[in-house]
Amino acid sequence: MKQYFKKKFALSDQGAKEMILGIVSAAAQNLALMFPVTLLYIFTGDYIEGVNLQSHTGFYIGGIALCLVLIVLTSIWQYNTAYKATYKESAARRISLAEKLRKLPLSFFAKRDLADLTSTIMSDAEVMEHAGSYMIPQYYGSIVSTLIICVGLVFFRWEMALAAVWPIPIALIIVLTSKSVQNHFTRKLKKAQIELNEGVQEFIETSRDLKSNNAENEYLKGLDEKIDSLEKRSIGSELGTAMFVVSAQMLLKFGIGSVALVGGTMLVGGSLTLMQFFCFLLVASRLYEPMSSTLINLAAINALQINVDRISEINNTKEQEGSDIFAQKGYDIVFDHAGFSYEDEKTVLSDVSFTAKQGEVTALVGPSGGGKTTVSRLAARFWDADSGKVTVGGVDVKTVDPETLLGSFSIVFQDVTLFNNTVMENIRVGKKDATDEEVLKAAKLANCDEFVRDLPAGYDTMIGENGSELSGGERQRISIARAFLKDAPIILLDEATASLDVENETKVQSALSRLIKDKTVMVIAHRMRTVAGANKIVVLSEGSVAEQGSPAGLMKSGGVFADMVRLQTEGQNWSIG
């Protein structure tokens, strides 16, 4: 049973155990709510038979007190197992999803956009939390308690039990058969929600460009269409569910009629006493009303499948595995006939072979889309090569745990990510236990110090969301400072100086020359002056190594590199008018 709930609702082992306890407590609460009915039955019987009620006052008061105690105790138990446990499981689910995402290869993120993943972690997890606390235990608990009551009724009078119970399984079957219809509507609804979220997020991020091009009104028309689409999908989803639930609830109403009809016939025939008839009318009224809510819960559980599938897709994605021991000899990076393609089978790299030696700067150049960034990502095992192999210090990177491997890398991406925190703490991301003195040293090496000193609070200045208070060049230099602070033996620079002016680019390159002693440096750049001082140039074109060698040697050969230098030189001589 634990494995069933674990798989069906994407639960942890502990979450599945707590779910079973929640179901038991919900069933106990439902049964406790039947005790007042029993007490009422006894009281009515005594009244009809003319028993002296005053002599039984203590019994009735004790019975009422017992009912209250049982209801309170089972309610507290049900709250602790269904609500508190669910919130703990919800927190664990979100943390486990985040941990899972942290361990997944970048190839997974290539096919899932940010809005979709955010929706899974926040929206889908929230839906599961609500279902786990308000629907799932109550539904299964109602089924268990109803079965227990029905068995008791069968032993009491099977004819009346049949008259009372027959609508329940039929109503459940009606709602169960709606699952495929509900899933159809839920998929479309979820798609509309994601499209709207993406549209709103995109509008916020691109509002400056939209305004500058007078395109706001046109974009908002499209956003209005997405809002209308979501509204229609929401109405359709509610209507599709309501058709089955309302039909099943209406069927339950026939149960009271059948109990009255069968019971009246048996009462007239003398085969049923008035008290037995009254008993079944009481029980029937107590069965059907909660069962109406149970049918709504069942419909909601049916609709959960889409949310569960989205969470399970992440949980079931294969992680990159490897040893947490990195027994390398040196830090040479060797690509040995490496090939790579995305899941759509589009080949990105084919038969790439070169060596980036320790203590040297290896520059990757070539046309856009030639595979430069992919090469650097394979070295750091953000992706795994499909063919050939990539080694660091003689060790195949596929055999090393990605986090262990990345401990040897300092990476500066072209797209800088900063946090809404101080300059000091943003640089400290490179080494979480770094002292203030170490942070300041790294900042100076990255040429950050001069502009940071001009900020209102210096290194304690809050820089806004993703560094919105800074210029592009300043943000880039903070990112470079992180790499200096980490001081790893391998440095990957992906267009790291792209946002710097000529003066600052020269200063950063000067600092890099001091940093790279005995280290392996791999630089991706489009500007040829950036790689002029590199020890080795690897020219990538259409996913293959077109040529490689020293800058001087490649200039003499007059190949692709020499042609790129010539074109950029001509571009620098261009002027307006």
- What is the CATH number for 446? 3.40.50.300
Please check whether residue 119 lies inside any domain of the structure.
yes
Q: Round to whole Å and give the CA distance between 237 and 127.
A: 15
Residues 202 and 342 grouped into a single domain: no
Containing structural domain, residue 551: 323-408+490-496+516-571
Q: Round to whole Å and give the CA distance between 565 and 558.
A: 10
The single-letter DSSP state of residue 577 is -
Please check whether residue 501 lies inside any domain of the structure.
no
User: Tokens standing for 557?
Assistant: 């050969």
Residues 329 and 303 grouped into a single domain: no
Choose one of 293, 315, 337: the last residue of a domain.
315
Residues 41 and 139 grouped into a single domain: yes
Q: Where are the alpha helices (DSSP H) in 104-157?
A: 106-110, 114-118, 125-134, 136-156
Residues 404 and 520 grouped into a single domain: yes
Nearest CA among 451, 450, 447 for reference residue 469? 451
Please check whether residue 230 lies inside any domain of the structure.
yes
| Total domain count, the chain | 3
Half-sphere exposure of residue 43: CA atoms within 13 angstroms, side-chain side: 16
Residues 127 and 248 grouped into a single domain: yes
**Residue 272: alpha-carbon gap to chain centroid:** 59
Asked if residues 511 and 449 have their Cβ atoms less than 8 Å apart, the reply is: no
Neighbours of 43 (CB within 10 A): 16
Asked if residues 548 and 536 have their Cβ atoms less than 8 Å apart, the reply is: yes
Look-up of token digits 């002056």: 529
Residues 523 and 431 grouped into a single domain: no
Please check whether residue 206 lies inside any domain of the structure.
yes
Residue type, 265: T
| DSSP element (H, E) containing 297 | helix 274-315
Q: Round to whole Å and give the CA distance between 442 and 160.
A: 84
Q: Round to whole Å and give the CA distance between 293 and 283.
A: 17
CB neighbour list of residue 156: distance below 8 Å, 6 or more residues apart: 276, 279
Residues 152 and 109 grouped into a single domain: yes
The residues pairing with 548 across neighbouring beta strands, listed in sequence order, are 538
- Going by their DSSP bridges, the two strands 361-365 and 536-541 should be labelled as parallel
Q: Can you give the C-alpha Rg of the chain in angstroms?
A: 35
CB neighbour list of residue 421: distance below 8 Å, 6 or more residues apart: 462, 463
Please check whether residue 504 lies inside any domain of the structure.
no
Choose one of 466, 487, 508: the last residue of a domain.
487
Q: Round to whole Å and give the CA distance between 208 and 125.
A: 33
**Residue 299: alpha-carbon gap to chain centroid:** 24
Residue type, 297: N
Asked if residues 31 and 62 have their Cβ atoms less than 8 Å apart, the reply is: no
Phi-psi region of 319 (alpha: psi -120 to 50; beta: other; left: phi over 0): beta
Distances from the Cα of 468 to the Cα of 198, 200, 417, 439, angstroms: 21, 19, 11, 21
Q: At what angle do helices 13-32 and 85-103 cross, to 10 degrees?
A: 160
Please check whether residue 507 lies inside any domain of the structure.
no
Residue type, 490: I
Phi-psi region of 543 (alpha: psi -120 to 50; beta: other; left: phi over 0): left
Residues 380 and 474 grouped into a single domain: no
Please check whether residue 526 lies inside any domain of the structure.
yes
Residues 45 and 130 grouped into a single domain: yes
User: Tokens standing for 130?
Assistant: 């609500």
Asked if residues 379 and 336 have their Cβ atoms less than 8 Å apart, the reply is: no
Choose one of 315, 335, 359: the last residue of a domain.
315
Q: Round to whole Å and give the CA distance between 457 and 440.
A: 15
Residues 167 and 99 grouped into a single domain: yes
Q: Round to whole Å and give the CA distance between 391 and 396.
A: 4
Residues 419 and 404 grouped into a single domain: no
Residues 339 and 206 grouped into a single domain: no
User: Tokens standing for 227?
Assistant: 């809002």
Neighbours of 182 (CB within 10 A): 23
Q: Round to whole Å and give the CA distance between 316 and 80.
A: 30
Asked if residues 538 and 364 have their Cβ atoms less than 8 Å apart, the reply is: yes
Please check whether residue 502 lies inside any domain of the structure.
no
Rounded to 10 degrees, the C-alpha dihedral 488/494/498/501 comes to 20
pLDDT in tens, the chain (577 residues): 778 887 777 788 888 888 888 888 888 888 888 788 778 777 777 777 677 777 778 888 888 899 899 989 988 888 888 777 888 888 888 888 888 888 887 767 766 777 777 777 778 888 888 888 878 888 888 888 888 888 887 887 888 888 888 888 888 888 888 877 877 888 888 888 888 888 887 888 788 788 888 888 888 888 898 889 888 888 888 887 888 888 888 888 888 888 888 888 888 888 877 777 777 777 777 777 777 778 888 888 887 888 888 888 888 888 888 888 888 898 999 999 999 987 656 788 889 999 999 988 898 988 887 888 889 889 988 888 889 999 999 999 999 998 889 889 988 877 788 888 898 999 999 888 899 999 999 888 888 888 898 888 989 989 887 777 887 778 888 888 888 888 899 988 887 666 666 666 666 666 667 667 778 989 887 777 677 778 899 999 888 998 999 888 888 888 888 888 787 776 555 555 5
Predicted TM-score (pTM) of the model is 0.67
User: Tokens standing for 410?
Assistant: 């300092």
